[in-house]
């Protein structure tokens, strides 16, 4: 597993989100303070609200 550079590790560790990466399907980890999620595989960063919207849309179909 790749190592993360997490500048917020001391104050605010990653929270594992219950979502899959929109790009590669990997696990997303959430920056609690920034409303962002980052993929542990491709390191794509997403806004949390965009991830929510996307996954809710998937469930509606």
* CB nearer to Zn ion: pick between 4 and 10: 4
Which residue(s) pair with 30 in the sheet? 15, 37
Q: Which long-range contacts (CB under 8 A, 24 or more apart) does 42-45 make?
A: none
Distance CA 51, CA 57 (A): 10
Interaction between residue 40 and Zn ion (CB under 5 A): no
Please pick, from the candidates 4, 8, 16, 24, the single residue that binds Zn ion as defined by CB under 5 A: 24
Interaction between residue 26 and Zn ion (CB under 5 A): yes
Under the rule (CB under 5 A), what is the footprint of Zn ion? 21, 23-24, 26, 39, 41-42, 44
């Amino acid at each position: 597993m790749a190592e993360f550079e997490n500048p917020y590790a001391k104050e605010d560790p990653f929270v594992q989100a219950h979502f899959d990466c929109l790009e590669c399907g990997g696990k997303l980890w959430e920056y609690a303070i920034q409303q962002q999620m980052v993929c542990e595989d491709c390191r794509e960063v997403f806004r949390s609200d965009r991830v929510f919207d996307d996954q809710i849309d998937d469930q509606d179909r």
